[in-house]
Structure 1
Amino acid sequence: MHRVAKLWAAVTAIVMVAAGLTGLGAVTAPAVAASGSDFNAGMIISDEVFYDSSTMSVGDIQAFLNARVPSCRSGYTCLKDYAQSTASQSAKSEGCAAYPGGWQSAAEIIWRVANVCGINPRALIVLLEKEQSLITDTWPSSRQYRSATGYGCPDTSDCDTNYYGFFNQVYHAAWQFKKYQARPDRAYRAGRNNTIQWHPNASCGSSQVFIENQATAGLYLYTPYRPNQAALDNLYGVGDSCSAYGNRNFWRIFTDWFGSTGYTVKGAFAEFYRANGGPEGFLGAPTSNEMVVDGGWKQRFSGGTLFTRVGTPVFAVRGLMRDYYRGVGEQADGLGWPVEQQVSLGNGNWYQAFERGRILVTGSTVKAVRGEIAKKYLSVGAQQGRLGFPTGDEAWGSGGWLQRFQGGVIASSTAGTFVITGTIQKRFDAAGGAAGGLGWPTEDERSVGSDWSQKFTSGAIVVRKSVDRVVKGDLGAYYVRAGAEASALGWPSSNEARLGTGWTQSFEQGILYSSSVGTRAVPNALGPQYQAAGGPTGSLGWPTSDAVTKDARVSQSFQNGQLSTNPDVAVAGAVYREYARVGGASSALGMPTEAEAKVTGGVRQRFVGGIVYVTSARAFVVQGDLGRGYLAAGDVASKFGVPTSQERQSGIGWAQTFSSGVLYSSPAGVYAVMGAIRGYHDANGGVQGRLGWPSGAETKVDGGWRQSFTGGTVYAKDGRAPIVVWGDIGTYYAGAGEQAGAAGWPVSAERARPGGWIQEFDNGTVHNSPAGTALVGGDILRAYAAAGGSDSQVKWPVSDATVVGGGFSQVFVGGSYYARGGRVFVVQGAIATAYAGDGGAGGSLGWPTGNEWWSGREWRQDFERGSIIVDSAGARIVRR
């Protein structure tokens, strides 16, 4: 009988702690203060720690006991002074070696039991304390000694006298833990979820615990309760009525007296640790276990952290670098994993390389370069290049990262990663950096003859003949997009200047203007005309488009009109305003192809890429695929009528409403949806509904109309509302000739039935199920429906009806229907199997002459030339 948890010992241990009788004193391993938040129910103590019998000598144990109780109360024998005669024990198959008996002290008993059974003596010391407070009690009773480890003391009865006595208790408790280890297939197992109660009172409930290792499983087998949050919140006191304390106290006492229950150094880390002096080396003592992180492992020590991954050596990150690296998230930071050891640069300077950067130390200053900035830094010579050491960390702002160095800056954004130095850097900083009007660099500085230039996302800095010009803000962004000094504008000939409500800047081949309506360049070819009209403050206003050259003609749109080097077709008034709104000649409309013309309800002007239609109240543009389809149909004179809305994007395509329908453009093509079909389409979610986009034009067919969509086909028989046929039924219907086929026009929408779908048509009902898709019509349909349809014994049809010997037959999952001469019979079950084996209606039995019937002893169905009978012996054919 092994021990099952008792709460009395746990409560006693709590009282002893509260009384201040569990002082720490000298220990043989570094101890840490326990915190309830650190308790791990799945790993109370590691196997490496629990089964390590080499942690203390007899002398270590005696010194520890002496430190716990320096003086014992008069008249009592404390554990440090306890001794007894012990009986020799033979070796045990579960894992304890032979034990030599004799007169032995408590310290010697603990040491010998630990060594013959392979249990950590510290674990036995903690067990004695948490069960009977024997380690710290200054006036222990005989009862405490007789049940020292609580072995053989179940919750439901008194302790077993066979296991009384200090040696008996220590030996059998250790042996029990070895039995758990030797035969782990028990109630609580490592490597799986286990249901563990909070308290012996089952009404307190239970929880799921994934037990990580065998030693923890053994503790739960010995004391089968888990501390609840109340017990952990008051780690040195009591919790609530559902709190259990045994395993909490074991973990807490071990942690307080001996340090972590699980800090071990093993494998490649252990080899590196030993080679570098172990605890006495630069790493010091471990402060965590090995941790699996992001595809590798790491372990913390007081003086550094070790890292490794499969196929890589062990790397140490230590000192100031360790502090910096940990502060930014270690391997999860943009630096990634270390890829070499620290390298000394002399004079107190160090660096260490990582996957995506490096950390540099100069004196007491630590900075890192990472990611794209690190790549750039290395490409220009790193700390030995012109940039030198970093003087600051990378900083985020205005959409990118910037890091300063002794010799310049590296700026990284979506535009790329580039170095800025010298006069250009000074101009960059003076302009407000990336947050100023220039934005981020898009190239490294480059020489253009004897001049220098560097582009930015919103401008450029040029140094020409010792005169530097900055083109920034909206003007700069335009200039850079155009190609800076290599663009049609050439080199800047002035800095920017304020003009009315906007800005202007002169270049060799034109002038840039920026205002609330945009930033545009007016080329020298149009400049004299524009200036003669008063420029931006004149009648034309600010440019609203770039100049466009086509067929040797240069044209450009302004707020109130359009200039051209060779006037041909004018765009003016309301048409011009709409044309300008979408981008003028630079839009999808392009150049005009004819003059404005009056049409029904308004005016229309055609362009290369579409039309502009204007009424007294509204103006509309039809362009792109919609425009081409509209133009091809005859635009405002077509069956679509005039536009009544602008185009609108909807998912994968575009739509535009006209007076007689909606024109859609998608990967399926450009098609109109009109009339009753349009109403049905709109009512069913339009292109966002199951029908989706039109995939064909509305088509006139005999007796009605049809139109296909990506999700199905809509049929509108004359005099009826439209109905959609889709999915598997739609596929069947299309293959059967649609409305011209056997089914005729649909008369109802598809609806669900248990196990499938049905849809009614003029000439029958199409059924769809895993058995197939088939039309059931005529006499068979009437009989099938009367029997319950798909809910009947025959269930769903397997195929369409076929002509057989002057009649029709149709196969269903559970049988077949036969119709001839106005009469319909069903053959099902075992009779159907026998009938099919005989050849069905074409076999020797011929057509059925009635349905199956029960004679009182057997089922029978009659046929033209015989019967099929089914009884307990099976089915048999009786021929006439």
Structure 2
Amino acid sequence: MIRRMVSAGVLAMTLALASVSIPTAAEAGAQVYNPCQRLSAGQVKYPSYGANRVTFATAMDRSQSAVIVTGCVRSGSGYAQEWQTTGFAGSKGFSAQNMAWEDTWKSPTGSFSFTEALGRSNPGTALRYYTLNPYSRWGGEHGPNYNQYFEGIGGESDENLWTYMNQGFYEQAAVINWNRYPDMPTVQGASFAIFFHAGNVPSAGCISTNLGTVVQLLKTNRPGDRIIMGAVDDIFTPFSSSPFGAITNKYAAIGGPAYAGDPVSNEMYGLKNGGAGQAFQFGSIYHSPMSGTFFSTGIIRGKWGSTGYENGILGYPTSDEMPMSRGARGQAYQNGSVYWGGSTGAHLSMGTIRAAWGRMGYEKGFLGYPTTDEIRGMAKGGIGQAYEGGSIYFTPTTGAHVSTGLIRVKWASLGYETGVLGYPVSDEIRGMVGAGVGQAYENGSIYSSPASGTHISMGAIRSLWGQQGFEKGALGYPTTDEYPANGAVVQDFQGGSIAWFGASGKVTLKG
């Protein structure tokens, strides 16, 4: 972008001022002169995406306009240097990633593709080429032409490409795909006309170098080749990874330093089942041939870590974190998932209990999110897990079943699984007569209806009630639990009572 930065009338002054930005020998000590080697070693924070050619434009720090410009070509499993020269970025240096907005006079930081070029005449480039004419413009006015080539009179903010070409800047130029497809959606106001062009002066955000270098880039680069640009500390890292590997590609896909932060370890190989991992400021990326490549961060990562990471019961991640209802987050693993729901904390979900939760609609069902991990060591080898709206219990003989609402309250009053009923052997059965609900247990059942309340049913009295048709028969629902009376155990129903005389084994029906 040259706009309002350099014109024929102020060119000499700009060149004079630019000279003060050139680093001295002492200041240049932090500059990186071997970026192709660093890229081959996986020590570049921004990806090459496997491009055949990668151009670097690096300054000593973000405030510097002077840059070293280096051309790298793919060679075997790495990159080799083709050429190196000097040039300039924006007059105020580089912005941080995703911060290059209009009128900041800074160049964006990151890895961007080349797909288009423009200038006086096509030097033999494979990039889509615009031969400039007096009506050639680059869109700077907010609207449908923003940050793209068009022909017309244009508006005040649209760059007159013909004028800048005749001043020597756009004699030849490659378009850097900042704030434009295919690299990213175009955002009005997030800067436009970021080119790699001739002129060799600071600009409003372009990379400018000598005409011969620009021509060489146009002749050799193919659509999808890239430029990596920024301050050396923003571009390079001392930590290594495979430059074309799954972890490097994932790091790029999630936003690189802007999302995961800088690398803080080398890529680690030899993990379980052929896996690999690399740590970053805000989390880690793990890869295995069986699970894929995913990012792990925050509270969910901490919970996974408490189980032993990939060596624990969950295994490797099989998804990134996913946004869920009510602001919660979830992440899937080989053997289950971890959910974090804010007030519910982060908890595991796995196995048969997870399957039962799934039958109820997972977190969108009436159970909501888990509020505990699985609770093991219960009676008869049982396992339980609590949720916002109830619990799920499992044993090898009873399976996994949901416990909730008034029936759960009643079961709790009897001692849960250690009480007379034992574990549930069914989920709640809804849609019964009179809006009733029932649930079966190892040693009986619990029934609840608005008219009768919530009561247990078991033993000999339950057998006789069953002979009468349970709640569909003349007796209807139980209205009491069993109680002693006159040497018998009695239970009242909507339509009568049943008495059991234990000594004689007799059961009588009282209408």
Q: CA RMSD in A?
A: 3.5
Change (3 A) 1:754 1:841: same
Q: 2:492 aligns with which of 862, 865, 872?
A: 862
Aligned to 2:425: 798
**Paired residues of 1:809 and 1:817 also in contact (CA < 8 A):** yes
| TM-score in terms of structure 1 length | 0.32
**Paired residues of 1:838 and 1:845 also in contact (CA < 8 A):** yes
CA distance in 2, matches of 1:760, 1:600: 55
Aligned to 1:624: 245
Matched residue pairs, number?
Answer: 304
The structure whose Rg is larger is 1
Cα deviations by residue, 1:800-835 (Å, 9 ceiling, x for unpaired):
112222221111111011122383211112222333
Q: 1:876 aligns with which of 497, 507, 510?
A: 507
CA distance in 1, matches of 2:307, 2:252: 29
User: Following TM superposition, by how much is the alpha carbon of 1:600 offset from its aligned partner in structure 2, in angstroms?
Assistant: 11
Q: 1:748 aligns with which of 368, 372, 381?
A: 372
1:739 and 2:363 are equivalent in the alignment = yes
Q: 1:845 aligns with which of 461, 475, 486?
A: 475
CA distance in 2, matches of 1:629, 1:808: 50
**Paired residues of 2:424 and 2:442 also in contact (CA < 8 A):** yes
Aligned to 1:69: none
User: Following TM superposition, by how much is the alpha carbon of 1:778 offset from its aligned partner in structure 2, in angstroms?
Assistant: 1.4
**Paired residues of 1:764 and 1:775 also in contact (CA < 8 A):** yes
Q: 1:655 aligns with which of 266, 277, 285?
A: 277
Q: 1:579 aligns with which of 12, 24, 40?
A: 40
CA distance in 1, matches of 2:248, 2:475: 69
CA distance in 2, matches of 1:595, 1:865: 88
Change (3 A) 1:656 1:834: farther
Aligned to 2:461: 831
Q: 1:787 aligns with which of 406, 414, 427?
A: 414
User: Following TM superposition, by how much is the alpha carbon of 1:837 offset from its aligned partner in structure 2, in angstroms?
Assistant: 3.6
**Paired residues of 1:831 and 1:875 also in contact (CA < 8 A):** no
**Paired residues of 1:692 and 1:709 also in contact (CA < 8 A):** yes
Q: SS state of the match for residue 406, structure 2? A: helix
Q: SS state of the match for residue 779, structure 1? A: helix
CA distance in 2, matches of 1:691, 1:606: 42
CA distance in 2, matches of 1:838, 1:772: 29
User: Following TM superposition, by how much is the alpha carbon of 1:596 offset from its aligned partner in structure 2, in angstroms?
Assistant: 2.9
User: Following TM superposition, by how much is the alpha carbon of 1:630 offset from its aligned partner in structure 2, in angstroms?
Assistant: 2.9
- The code of the aligned residue for 1:646 comes to N
Change (3 A) 1:609 1:577: closer
CA distance in 2, matches of 1:600, 1:750: 53
Aligned to 2:265: 645
Give aligned-pair identity as a percent.
26
- The code of the aligned residue for 2:285 comes to L
Aligned to 2:436: 807
Q: SS state of the match for residue 620, structure 1? A: coil
Q: SS state of the match for residue 358, structure 2? A: helix
User: Following TM superposition, by how much is the alpha carbon of 1:610 offset from its aligned partner in structure 2, in angstroms?
Assistant: 9.2
Cα deviations by residue, 1:475-521 (Å, 9 ceiling, x for unpaired):
xxxxxxxxxxxxxxxxxxxxxxxxxxxxxxxxxxxxxxxxxxxxxxx
- The code of the aligned residue for 2:389 comes to N
Q: SS state of the match for residue 302, structure 2? A: helix
Aligned to 1:544: none
Q: SS state of the match for residue 846, structure 1? A: coil
Aligned to 1:595: 55
User: Following TM superposition, by how much is the alpha carbon of 1:856 offset from its aligned partner in structure 2, in angstroms?
Assistant: 4.9
- Give the alignment of 1:493-508 within 5 angstroms: none
Aligned to 2:300: 677
User: Following TM superposition, by how much is the alpha carbon of 1:792 offset from its aligned partner in structure 2, in angstroms?
Assistant: 0.9
| TM-score in terms of structure 2 length | 0.53
Q: SS state of the match for residue 55, structure 2? A: coil
CA distance in 1, matches of 2:410, 2:367: 18
Change (3 A) 1:597 1:786: farther
Aligned to 1:766: 392
- Give the alignment of 1:218-367 within 5 angstroms: none
User: Following TM superposition, by how much is the alpha carbon of 1:766 offset from its aligned partner in structure 2, in angstroms?
Assistant: 1.0
Change (3 A) 1:576 1:779: same
Change (3 A) 1:598 1:742: farther
CA distance in 2, matches of 1:606, 1:802: 68
Cα deviations by residue, 1:632-673 (Å, 9 ceiling, x for unpaired):
444445x22332222213112221122222112121222111
Q: SS state of the match for residue 619, structure 1? A: coil
Q: 2:351 aligns with which of 727, 730, 737?
A: 727
User: Following TM superposition, by how much is the alpha carbon of 1:878 offset from its aligned partner in structure 2, in angstroms?
Assistant: 1.0
**Paired residues of 2:499 and 2:510 also in contact (CA < 8 A):** no
CA distance in 2, matches of 1:669, 1:581: 20
CA distance in 1, matches of 2:59, 2:344: 36
CA distance in 2, matches of 1:610, 1:661: 27
User: Following TM superposition, by how much is the alpha carbon of 1:619 offset from its aligned partner in structure 2, in angstroms?
Assistant: 3.3
User: Following TM superposition, by how much is the alpha carbon of 1:627 offset from its aligned partner in structure 2, in angstroms?
Assistant: 2.5
Cα deviations by residue, 1:48-98 (Å, 9 ceiling, x for unpaired):
xxxxxxxxxxxxxxxxxxxxxxxxxxxxxxxxxxxxxxxxxxxxxxxxxxx
Q: SS state of the match for residue 595, structure 1? A: strand
- Residue ranges of structure 2 left out of the alignment (5+ in a row): 1-31, 63-67, 80-110, 112-227
- Give the alignment of 1:378-457 within 5 angstroms: none
Change (3 A) 1:796 1:580: closer
- The code of the aligned residue for 1:745 comes to Y
CA distance in 1, matches of 2:59, 2:329: 31
